Amino acid sequence: MTSISKILSRLTQLVLRSLFLYGLIEARKGSTLLQLLFTAMALVAVVRSEFAALCILFVVFIVYIVYGIEKYLKYSLALALPPAIWMSLSNMLIIHLKGGDIIRAFLSVFLRAEAGSAVVLLLLHTLNISELCFILYKLSPITSFATALFWRLASQLIKETTEMLYIHGLKGEKTWKTLAMLFIRGEEVVQYFTEGVHLKQYSYKPKVVYSTRVIAIQIILLVVAMLLQFL
């Protein structure tokens, strides 16, 4: 297996595990609006203070444990690690040229980058697809149907990409050939789904699924993010 194939295979595995490791879990039965508000306020707090960033990271870690999806956090932070290190090293170099504290410069940016990534990925992991499709249905039934279909297709395509990269890597196939096959396979999958669910779009009507426990957790998160604004 070539080095490029190995990198692409590991990267797709990481994306698959960081976004589609679980199915319809309890964490996805909250309010998308509340989660969006928390995300916005948490990101503001992360930018303002390193201590706030540390608090947000700790709170997000606790939330993942409460939801029982702590594996998501492990793979998500690993996915965010390379850009976080790159930004931290860049900032450290600038501070070094200015004669500042390079250790503090590195940790400050790294902590903010990881905390910000954790907050954004928490939004993706707790996005209520049923609520999103319901809202979109009021605006455009076709868009709502396409959103639900895309959510189902995305995980399958990424999974097949991981498997194909691994198999072709063992066979010694060139990377560009593998990528070409992936595009062809993607078109086939989309065509199969389109033909199979074409008639269902006329009877499609999404229903919203909520959990009072998840909404209560989201309200607590929002209160914590509000309190951190005063630090």
Q: Does residue 182 sit in the same domain as residue 215?
A: no
User: How confident is the model over 164-207, as pLDDT tens digits?
Assistant: 666 666 666 666 666 666 666 666 666 666 655 555 656 677 78
Q: Does residue 94 sit in the same domain as residue 37?
A: yes
pLDDT at residue 133, as a whole number: 83
Query: Nearest-5° angle of CA 145, CA 149, CA 151?
Result: 120
Is position 55 within any domain? yes
Q: What is the mean pLDDT of the chain?
A: 78
Longest dimension (CA), the chain: 67
Q: Does residue 229 sit in the same domain as residue 164?
A: no
pLDDT at residue 86, as a whole number: 86
Is position 26 within any domain? no
Is position 8 within any domain? yes
pLDDT at residue 151, as a whole number: 74
How far is it, in rounded angstroms, from Cα 192 to Cα 18? 26
Q: Does residue 5 sit in the same domain as residue 63?
A: no
Q: Does residue 57 sit in the same domain as residue 76?
A: yes
Contact between 59 and 124 (Cβ < 8 Å): no
**Residue-wise pLDDT tens for the chain (231 aa)?**
556 656 666 666 556 555 665 566 788 888 888 999 999 999 999 988 888 999 998 999 899 888 887 777 777 777 778 788 888 888 888 887 887 778 888 888 888 888 888 898 888 888 888 888 888 888 877 777 777 777 777 767 766 676 666 666 666 666 666 666 666 666 666 666 665 555 565 667 778 888 899 999 999 999 999 998 886
What count of other Cβ atoms lies within 10 Å of the Cβ of residue 139?
9
How far is it, in rounded angstroms, from Cα 157 to Cα 9? 13
Q: Does residue 91 sit in the same domain as residue 57?
A: yes
Is position 64 within any domain? yes
Domain count, the chain: 2
Contact between 76 and 121 (Cβ < 8 Å): yes
- Cβ contacts of 77 within 8 Å, gap of 6 or more: 114, 117, 118
User: In this structure, is the dihedral angle defined by the CA atoms of residues 157, 160, 162 and 165, taken in order, positive or negative?
Assistant: negative
Q: Does residue 13 sit in the same domain as residue 124?
A: no
Contact between 214 and 26 (Cβ < 8 Å): yes
Query: Nearest-5° angle of CA 116, CA 12, CA 131?
Result: 55
Residue 138's domain comprises 1-21+129-207
pLDDT at residue 220, as a whole number: 93
* H runs (alpha helix) in 140-174: 141-171
pLDDT at residue 15, as a whole number: 60
pLDDT at residue 219, as a whole number: 93
Per-residue b/e over 165-181, b at no fewer than 16 CB within 10 Å? bbebbeeebebeebeee
Is position 99 within any domain? yes
Q: Does residue 88 sit in the same domain as residue 66?
A: yes
